[in-house]
Structure 1
Amino acid sequence: MVTKRISDEPAYVLHRYDWSESSLILEVFTRGYGRIALVARGAKKPSSNFRPVLLPLQPLHVAFGGDAEIRTLRSAEWQGGHVMPTGDALLSGYYINELVMRLLARDDPHPVLFDAYTTTVQLLASQSADTLQAALRAFELRLLQGIGLLPTLDAQTATLTPLQPDLAYVLVAESGLREAHDDDRASLLGQEWQHLQEALADDAPFTDTMQACVNHLPALKSQLRSLLHYHCDVKVLKTRQMMMDLQAL
């Protein structure tokens, strides 16, 4: 645990809770320290400098300290660069925040994933729908890979047998990557899974992962959704339920 004051740490607010009449508890994703909890004392007061900056999906630099599970926020500065997304893009932002909240353990740094998160957030309000979907699929893959929940995508999980380029395979939550059956509604060819694995290499930029996803968005969406629901131990994520409810209206 951190016992000294940390300054100028890149961060995003994932969620906030009321803590007292004037203060907030924040769930924050930082580049160097992972997901942490901070108390922002007095943040709800009209005169607080925290009020205009402690918003989700906005790039911050924060200073904090303490050695308890919930540390104390000392300062937060908005770094600018993009506006708050709206509509479907805003819901997509809340969706990736929910994934990080549910799947990342506290105090477990993931700087590469943080950079992927930053790129995804930057794309939310400024790109086409297809680009946004590719960014979401790429982020889901990077998240699952970063926390060890994504099997290698160039071999069958149960046997470690290399994939055949022209055979279809499906990613299943309980058993990993296997050969597709007739009743599987979504699958990718072995060569397509292999391309995704190459795009998830440690030195591969996030844009390469996005590009590898572009031509397989529907199939990846359904398979990754099942995998994420399985590991989050939910039937439907809260943000996805919100999207469905809004569409029903």
Structure 2
Amino acid sequence: MRALLQSAFILHRRPYRNTSVLLEVFSQERGRLGLVARGAAAPKSRLKGLLQPFAPLLLSWSGVGELAALIAAEEAGLPIALPPNRVLAGLYVNELLVRLLPRLDPLPGLFAAYEVLLAELVTVPGEEPPLRRFEKRLLEELGYGLTLDCEAISGMPIVAEEHYRYVLDRGPLAVHRTELGVPISGQGLLALRDGILVDPTVLSEVKRLTRAALAVQLHGRALKTRELYRSGRR
């Protein structure tokens, strides 16, 4: 089977044999897939500098199953030049997508959210708000969206001034109902719901919640980018 040129981003790449490259790709129409780019690492290959993360591309491939063969690649716009202090954030999101997205499951809404995220990592003052918004969207696309507007047992609307504990298989519970879960204020739940993440205290709460929810999906597997981030802070 041969595909037409499709919008895509490279999530990860690694050498394969002598001059080829194995790619993890996030495409607009086919979702995540693996490609082998034969000869792409050869000294005179025009693909050598093209197949890089954060560059909007048009790709064509052939084959079915876990690994297809790259046929053609073109630029679909200028590479997104993340500031040096934001590159690790971009790589973190790429690693999440590689670890969590199923193969060949089209997620055009998440693809659009990824494009927005990369643009925001270039332009917005802080990286945390766009990262948290994207993590929330990723959980939704995986079928594990967070309940952010009502208390799990009573069904009552979340109150900004109240405090809750988020139990991941149930939702937010009033603090008097449980000692389990991730502590978070009503303000934090509503801020994540609305995507308006300005207050540093709220951002810290929201980060604990999204990271806990993602950890369940990762089944305890550590992310290399988080390890790099921690080592960089030492």
Pick the TM interval, shorter chain.
0.7 to 0.9
Deviations 1:136-188 (A, max 9, x none): 0000000001111123322334x362334242223333543222369787412
What are the ranges of 5 or more consecutive residues in structure 2 without an aligned counterpart? none
- Report if aligned partners of 1:172, 1:223 keep a CA contact under 8 Å in 2: no
Question: 2:110 maps to what in 1?
Answer: 113
Worse-matched range after superposition: 10-19 or 159-168: 159-168
**Cα RMSD between the aligned structures?**
2.3
Q: CA offset at residue 26 of structure 1?
A: 0.5
Whether contact under 8 Å (1:155, 1:177) holds in the other structure is yes
Does residue 1:221 correspond to 2:207, yes or no? yes
Query: Which residue is 1:203 aligned to?
Result: none
Distance 1:80 1:161, change over 3 A: same
Select which of 4, 28, 40 maps to 1:7.
4
Aligned with 1:139 (options 121, 134, 145) = 134
Q: For 1:62-118, what per-residue CA distance to the aligned partner results, in whole angstroms no more than 9, with x for missing partners?
A: 111212321111111122345432433000000000111111100111101110001
* Counterpart position of 1:172: 167
1:1-249 alignment runs, 5 A limit? 3=1, 5-129=2-126, 132-157=127-152, 159=153, 161-165=155-159, 166-180=161-175, 186-189=183-186, 193-194=189-190, 196-197=192-193, 199=194, 209=195, 212-215=196-199, 216-234=202-220, 236-248=222-234
What TM-score, normalized to structure 2?
0.88
CA distance in 1, matches of 2:78, 2:55: 9
Aligned residue type for 1:47: K
| Alignment gaps of 5+ in structure 1 | 200-208
Q: Percent identity?
A: 32
Partner in structure 2 of residue 206 of structure 1: none
Q: Which deviates further from its counterpart, 37-46 or 224-233?
A: 224-233
SS for the counterpart of 1:155 is coil
Query: Any idea what the Cα deviations from partners look like across 1:2-24, whole Å, max 9, x if unmatched?
Result: x3x22221111011122211111
The farther-off stretch of 49-58 and 71-80 is: 71-80
Change in CA separation of 1:150 and 1:170 when aligned onto 2, cut-off 3 Å: farther
